[in-house]
């Protein structure tokens, strides 16, 4: 049976103006933005629409802003279709779980605001960072990280995005040394990323510990749709939600494996809900035979509705 997957982007997809045409055109979307403002106690809507981008790029703002925009779009799409599988990249997993009904929107937006705070404050600015490793296999990237860790300080794989792109994170000194050493490990290119912390590495374990306390207070519900986990590529069960969301903070995101698992389970169309086209780009590099549609504006929504009605 052919299935559709709704997938939600992670940090880095944000930009000033995101979600505005949904707010202008749909009552359901406006309600989500208003609920976000109320739950957070500040005007996240204004930040989404007007920026500035420097403020939107602050992790504790980025996370609730992206979740709000993704859910504002999803509310317009929403229909009871249990054949839809869901997933998300890092933060996007919270959008997927909220869309699938595992937690209510207010709980989710407050939770990711706290998550952003913990992640931002765990590693002081300048002490850690991230590096994209291009044109190598997963095994080459893992071997490279081990070698750098032994010689210069911690470097770990953080995101397995698609074949030939692995992101690593760790100590700033390790990253600076790694750039020169990459060619020795059959890595075509190593590019330093403009991020403030080594996300999805063991350096973020203290943030996971703090988040664990918040997660323990949440009464999760059984998701209406299957939602795949970045941590182990297994669909979420209620009993494992808190544990997996905690681990996700300091474990690598296995996006390529998640996409391959969904395809193996019958997904042939991926619908990226939210700003940017990052996930659509990754999916095309993982499997060119599946269809990928992006909904970040009303035009994208209309394209999808025409396709879905075909």
The boundaries of the domain holding residue 147 are 128-195
One domain for residues 240 and 278: yes
User: Residues 94, 100, 103, 104: is their CA dihedral positive or negative?
Assistant: positive
Cβ atoms of 98 and 52 closer than 8 Å: no
Question: How do 267-273 and 291-295 pair as beta strands?
Answer: parallel
**Given 57, 90, 196, 292, the catalytic residue:** 90
Final residue before a domain boundary, out of 163, 195, 227: 195
pLDDT of residue 81: 64
Final residue before a domain boundary, out of 162, 195, 228: 195
Mean pLDDT, residues 100-110: 97
| Catalytic residue check, 90 | yes
Query: 134 φ, ψ to 5°?
Result: -115, 145
One domain for residues 207 and 186: no
* Calpha distance 90→257 (Å, rounded): 14
Query: 11-25, 71-85, 193-207, 280-294 — which is least confidently predicted?
Result: 71-85
Coil, strand or helix: which one is 193?
coil
**What's the distance, CA 106 to chain centroid?**
19
Task: Strands of the chain (E only): list them.
Answer: 3-8, 85-88, 128-134, 155-162, 165-171, 189-192, 226-227, 267-273, 291-295
pLDDT in tens, 58-90: 899 999 999 999 999 999 998 656 679 999 999
pLDDT of residue 289: 96
pLDDT of residue 90: 96
pLDDT in tens, 169-197: 999 999 999 999 999 999 999 999 878 78
One domain for residues 86 and 220: yes
Going by pLDDT thresholds of 50, 70 and 90, the confidence category of residue 124 is confident
One domain for residues 19 and 110: yes
One domain for residues 266 and 137: no
Final residue before a domain boundary, out of 173, 195, 217: 195
pLDDT of residue 71: 98
pLDDT at 120 over 70: yes
One domain for residues 255 and 208: yes
pLDDT of residue 21: 96
One domain for residues 37 and 97: yes
Return the CATH number at 184: 3.30.70.250
Mean pLDDT, residues 27-48: 98
One domain for residues 269 and 189: no
**DSSP states of 104-158 as a string?**
-HHHHHHHHHHHHHHHHHHS-TTSEEEEEEES--HHHHHHHHHHHHHHHS-EEEE
pLDDT at 1 over 70: no
One domain for residues 174 and 274: no
Return the CATH number at 246: 3.40.366.10
Going by pLDDT thresholds of 50, 70 and 90, the confidence category of residue 309 is confident
When divided into structural domains, the chain yields a total of 2
| Catalytic residue check, 200 | yes
Nearest to 156 by CA among 203, 90, 201: 201
One domain for residues 265 and 191: no
pLDDT of residue 126: 85
Going by pLDDT thresholds of 50, 70 and 90, the confidence category of residue 282 is very high
One domain for residues 52 and 84: yes
One domain for residues 261 and 207: yes
Query: 43-47, 82-86, 122-126 — which is least confidently predicted?
Result: 82-86
pTM of full prediction above 0.85: yes
**Given 200, 229, 280, 292, the catalytic residue:** 200
Better-scored residue on pLDDT, 257 or 80: 257
């Amino acid at each position: 049976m052919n299935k559709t997957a709704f997938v939600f982007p992670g940090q880095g997809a944000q930009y000033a103006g995101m979600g505005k045409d949904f707010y202008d055109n749909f009552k359901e979307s406006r309600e989500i933005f208003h609920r976000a403002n109320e739950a957070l106690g500040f005007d996240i809507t204004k930040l989404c629409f007007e920026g500035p981008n420097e403020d939107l790029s602050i992790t504790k703002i980025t996370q609730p802003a992206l979740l709000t925009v993704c859910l504002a779009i999803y509310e317009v799409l929403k229909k009871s279709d249990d054949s839809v599988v869901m997933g998300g990249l890092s933060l996007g997993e919270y959008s997927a779980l909220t869309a699938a009904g595992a937690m209510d929107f207010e709980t989710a937006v407050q939770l990711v605001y706290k998550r952003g705070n913990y992640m931002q404050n765990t590693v002081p600015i300048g002490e850690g960072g991230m590096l994209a490793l291009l044109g190598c296999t997963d095994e080459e990237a893992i071997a490279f990280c081990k070698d750098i860790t032994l010689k210069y300080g911690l470097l770990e794989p953080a995101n397995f995005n698609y074949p030939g792109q692995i992101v690593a994170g760790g100590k700033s000194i390790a990253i600076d040394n790694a750039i020169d050493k990459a060619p020795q490990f059959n890595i075509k290119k190593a590019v330093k990323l403009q991020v403030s912390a080594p996300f999805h590495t063991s350096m973020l374990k203290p943030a996971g510990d703090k988040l664990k306390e918040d997660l323990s207070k949440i009464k999760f519900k059984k998701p209406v749709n299957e939602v795949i986990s970045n941590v182990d590529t297994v669909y979420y069960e209620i009993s494992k939600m808190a544990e997996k969301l905690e681990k996700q903070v300091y474990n690598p995101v296995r996006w390529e494996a998640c996409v391959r698992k969904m395809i193996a389970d019958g997904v042939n169309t991926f619908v990226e809900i939210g700003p940017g086209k990052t996930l659509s780009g990754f999916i095309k590099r993982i499997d060119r035979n599946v269809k990928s549609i992006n909904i970040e504006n009303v035009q994208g929504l209309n394209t999808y509705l025409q396709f879905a009605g075909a």
